[in-house]
Amino acid sequence: MKNIYIITALLFSVFIQAQDMNNEKLEEILAKEADSLIGLSGRWQVTYKELTLLVVTDETHDRMRIITPIAEVSSLDKELLTICLAANYHSALDVKYAISDDLLWSVYIHPLSPLTEEELISALAQVYSAAVTFGSTFSSTELIFGTGSNTEENKKPKTKKI
């Protein structure tokens, strides 16, 4: 009987934490977290720490993304793009570097309805960080998984030992 109470309490706490995020809730959080917010429901331009981010949602398909442009792809060399791909694995974490319309973007993509306020706040910070650290640490947070492939040591060509 004691176990039933514990399980019920745990399930209830999970349901209370469920955000059921929608455009209205998202806009309220953005208004609190951003320096400025303009746009229509589902299509916002946010100024976050003096950087312009775009927040786009599709409630019908339960998707959202936060993006900011970084550079024209034509101005980047192959080595820099390769470093971006490695950063997607090691240091960009929830944010990714992506290419669209000849632009390199910092991008966070997530289903809309399960998004929590904490995840949204983290996403804003990570998109910002990945954009401003492009060319240096290529990171969305201070956490780096794996070998930290962006270090000078890891950029050197490796020789295969037999």
pTM of the model: 0.79
DSSP string, the chain: -HHHHHHHHHHHHHHHH-----HHHHHHHHHHHSSEEEEETTEEEEEETTEEEEEEEETTTTEEEEEEEEEEGGGS-HHHHHHHHHHHHHT-TT-EEEEETTEEEEEEEEESTT--HHHHHHHHHHHHHHHHTTTTT--SSS---TT-TTSHHHHSPPPPP-
Give the model's pLDDT for residue 25. 97
Task: Measure the CA–CA gap between 89 and 93, rounded to whole angstroms.
Answer: 7
Q: What is the pLDDT of residue 13?
A: 54
Distance CA 64, CA 33 (A): 17
Predicted pLDDT of residue 6: 65
Q: Is 3.40.50.1000 the CATH classification of the domain at 20-155?
A: no
- H helix or E strand, kind and range, residue 127: helix 117-132
Q: How far is it, in rounded angstroms, from Cα 134 to Cα 72?
A: 13
Q: Residue 142: which residues within 8 A CB-CB, separation 6 or more?
A: none
**Which tokens in the block code for residue 31?**
């208004």
pLDDT in tens, the chain (162 residues): 666 666 666 555 555 555 599 999 999 999 999 999 999 999 999 999 999 999 999 999 999 999 999 999 999 999 999 999 999 999 998 999 999 999 999 999 999 999 999 999 999 999 999 999 999 999 998 766 665 544 444 444 433 333
Report pLDDT for 142: 75
Which pLDDT score is estimated for 14?
Answer: 52
